[in-house]
Amino acid sequence: MFNDIYRNLSEELSSGNESVILTFMKPVSNKKGSIKNKIVLVKDNLESNPLFMNMDEALRQKVLFAFNSGNLQLIEDKEEVILIEPYFPKPRLIILGGGHVAKPVAELGAKIGFSVVVVDDRPSFANPGRFPEADEVICESFENCFSQLNIRKSDFVVIVTRGHRHDGICLRNTLSYNSAYIGMIGSKRRVKAMKEELLNEGYSKEQIDSVNAPIGLDIGAVTPEEIAISIIAQVISFRRARGNTAKESGVKFNWPEFDDAVVDEMTRESETPRALITIISSKGSVPRKAGAKMIVWLDGKIMGSIGGGCSEASIITIARNTILNKEYTIEHVDMTGNVAEDEGMVCGGIMDVLIESF
């Protein structure tokens, strides 16, 4: 049930499209009921989607807020409960250049949740042995690699090649795409000269100003590792706050948290009944934030995590009852006080969890 919905979602995310799933539920009590329907909406085609255009205005505004903030929205009344979940593609960190700065950038990028792609035209630098943490290593000329990269608006491009000429090739090609971030290494003098060249070639000031160059935050970095930290820090600032856009609009932006493997699993049929568990809100010091997911099968198998410990164990137990009753359940989990102390937390928190039977 609803496998096609998650298959559609997976395809949209693979294409780099920000999406939301709306889950419509019929309550039979305060925190229990049945799942009526799910739909997927894609940000880029909202205005042409009749499902979105024919919605109640208040619901449309909630959908837009989920896209703009990255935050889950729950609408509850006596007749209907609607969960609005934003899903954004896993961001790719595309590193153009495989030299001494690229290596720690790739390592740090993978550690903070990016899908890392490294490109270099030298086999001794572009190989999986040098970049074991990368999801993809491409050995190709900088002129020809872009047809393989297919840069998307969720991609973060770091240009750290071995020379000014290669940097220029990469930058000119990257500027023809709409990406989330572009950064280029180089001294202030070289960067200034490059920008003047681009202006003379007809690139707009807006395009040129979108390039973060010299790349990275100014922390006085000297070593490759320090430079990598300054680059990744800047990338994080764009990922989390989307540059200055979120700040200017007054919206606190949170990149949606979810597990690729869990969404992938939900695209498949299952002979064993299962429950999808989602943190729909959290406050305080909790191990996982809103959007985190796990699957529990009736035979005891699990995938993913909402934080582990006794709290997760109790949710798993409740999930089995939810599966047998073929319903949804919303549970409140309090990890303050003794629970937090028992689980070794410095301080506790609370979260609400949705359990959906499939």
| Alpha-helix runs per DSSP H in 15-163 | 50-53, 57-69, 102-111, 146-149
In this prediction, residue 119 has a pLDDT band, given cuts at 50, 70 and 90, of very high
Half-sphere exposure of 317 (CA within 13 A, CB side): 6
Closest CA to 75 of 66, 64, 83: 83
SS3 229: helix
SS3 285: coil
Q: What is the pLDDT of residue 340?
A: 52
In this prediction, residue 246 has a pLDDT band, given cuts at 50, 70 and 90, of very low
DSSP3 helix / strand / coil % (the chain, rounded to 5)? 35, 25, 40
Burial status of residue 41 (CB atoms within 10 A of its CB: 0-12, 13-18, 19 or more): buried
Question: What pLDDT digit, counting tens, does each position of 132-167 carry?
Answer: 999 999 999 999 999 999 999 889 999 999 999 999
Question: What pLDDT digit, counting tens, does each position of 179-232 carry?
Answer: 999 999 999 999 999 999 999 999 999 999 999 999 999 999 999 999 999 999
Res 254 pLDDT > 80 = no
Range 79-105 average pLDDT: 96
Q: In what order do the strands lie in the sheet with 73-76?
A: 73-76, 81-87, 19-27, 32-42, 328-334, 349-357, 274-284, 293-297, 302-304
Task: Name residue 19's amino acid.
Answer: S
What value does the mean pLDDT of the chain take? 91
For residues 41 and 49, what is the distance between their CA atoms, to the nearest angstrom? 8
Which token pair is 270?
Answer: 């299952």
Q: Is there a contact between 74 and 66 (Cβ–Cβ < 8 Å)?
A: no
Which token pair is 54?
Answer: 């024919």
Domain 92-246 has CATH 3.40.1360.10: no
For residues 214 and 89, what is the distance between their CA atoms, to the nearest angstrom? 27
Res 1 pLDDT > 80 = no
Res 346 pLDDT > 80 = no
Residues paired with 171 in a beta bridge? none
For residues 172 and 145, what is the distance between their CA atoms, to the nearest angstrom? 13
Q: Where in the chain is the domain with CATH 3.40.50.720?
A: 92-246
Stated length of the chain = 358
> Model pTM?
0.81
CA torsion sign for 313, 314, 315, 318 is positive
Q: Is there a contact between 253 and 244 (Cβ–Cβ < 8 Å)?
A: no
